[in-house]
Homo-oligomer: A and B are copies of this chain.
Amino acid sequence: MTSLSHSVPSAAAPSGSVSSPAKRIQIDFAERSYDILIGESLLSDPASYEGLKGHSALMVSNTTVSPLYAARLKTALGTRHAQLFEVVLPDGEAFKTWETLNLIFDALLANGCDRKTVIYALGGGVVGDMAGFAAASYMRGVPFVQLPTTLLAQVDSSVGGKTAINHPLGKNMIGAFYQPQRVLCDLSLLKSLPARELSAGLAEVIKYGPIFDTAFLAWLNHHIDDLRVFEPAALSHAVQRSCEIKAEVVGQDEREAGLRAILNFGHTFGHAIEAGLGFGEWLHGEAVGCGMVMAATLSQRLGFVSAQWVADLRALIQRAGLPVIAPILDPHDNAGRYLALMRHDKKSEAGDIKFVLIQKPGTAVVQSAPEALVREVIDACCQA
């Protein structure tokens, strides 16, 4: 479903720095295919945008990202679009709402944007999810390009076409499967990431090992310290391999009818942590990191993997700078609170919670589990 080739969109970025050759991963869907480009200084390189048309374009970013990168994008786009507009959203998961989404629609309509207007999503997962859903819905669909600025967005949310906003009663409950025209993973943007955000991104990188690729998991065990100090070659490989695996999985199952659900390893418990603590208290990646420890523990209690394997995964997650002890969500009925929150997960059917479990290292399954066992796992993982 995916192919990997090496190409050089241009010899050097306009900034004068010498770029490494960009890597290109192709995602094939029934209707069309598109490229993920991974490399240094892609944002600033006009060649990154070759083939993108549209009389007008809209850059969507937020108050944190816009001052850092919007000018670079504007310069790189040059005269590609006759009209280039920008909308700057408030920053944060708390603003992943209809009201904020509507700022994008307001900008599109006030500027007379048409069906061929290209939307550039410049930011992390929240910007990508909202700009993507706006692109999916504006006039029933306009082209969009993902320019992820965080590790988490580069390895996870910008690839695969999931877009959404939150509803007061649930996260990512309103959205669309909608594929971008292109994803540009500019590795040079990661250098300015705060350490905590880097760690949160590493949770989604680590995820790909247990569910799909034991060799990658072994590589991560060797290079986790390099990744935490932004070692360029290590980061490049981590982003590339993560995107390859994600492309492979979503290429087989765009609409999450089956296989794709394995990408939610750690997310069922993780969502309960996020919702239970209040969204934003823990970063998404932190909750997923801890959620993977819990899901791995459940896998072990079901007899799928060894206690040693779980301990090794837990150690890796901890070395990535992520929490491995689950928080108490309710001192009176902690497990009950976790269960109630997990029943609201999108994977649930008729209240039956579906967990992504590791059947054996490198292979995941989605299934339910006896409630008593889940309660035991929650109790065990909430203790140091």
Residue-wise interface mask of A (315-356) relative to B, using a CB-CB cutoff of 8 A (1 in contact, 0 not)? 000000000000000000000000000011011111100000
CA A5 to CA B323, docked complex, whole Å = 61
Q: Are A112 and B164 also in contact (CB < 8 A) when A136-B176, A140-B175, A255-B141 are?
A: no
Say yes or no: A162 contacts B174, CB within 8 Å.
no
A343 to B349, CA, bound (A): 46
Chain B residues closer than 8 Å to A110, beta-carbon distance: 169
Q: Give A245 to B213 CA distance when docked, in angstroms.
A: 50
Taking a contact as CB atoms closer than 8 A, the residue among B55, B98, B136, B177 that contacts A350 in the complex is: B55
Q: Which of A87-95, A101-109, A196-204 contacts B (4 or more CB under 8 A)?
A: A101-109
CB <8 Å contact, B140 and A164: yes
**A103-125 CB contacts (< 8 Å) to partner B:** 105-106, 109-110, 112, 114-116
Among A137, A140, A169: residue with most chain B CB under 10 A:
A140
The answer to whether A55 touches B98, judged by C-beta atoms less than 8 angstroms apart, is: no
Chain B's closest residue to A56 (CB) is B350
Nearest chain B CB to A6 CB, angstrom units: 32
26 A–B contacts, CB within 8 A, in A order:
A30-B30, A56-B350, A98-B98, A98-B102, A105-B167, A105-B173, A109-B173, A112-B343, A112-B344, A112-B351, A114-B346, A114-B350, A116-B349, A137-B174, A138-B173, A139-B175, A139-B346, A140-B163, A140-B164, A140-B175, A140-B176, A140-B177, A140-B255, A141-B176, A141-B255, A176-B176
Chain B residues lying within 8 Å of A303, measured Cβ to Cβ, are: none
Distance of A20 from chain B, by nearest CB (Å): 36
A93 to chain B, nearest CB (A): 18
Across the interface, name the chain B residue whose C-beta is closest to A139: B346
**Residue A170 is within 8 A (CB to CB) of chain B in the complex:** yes
Q: How far is the CA of A343 from the CA of B55 in the complex (A)?
A: 14
Residues of chain A in range 135-171 having any CB-CB distance to chain B below 8 Å = 136-141, 162-164, 167, 169-170
In contact, B30 and A137 (Cβ under 8 angstroms): no
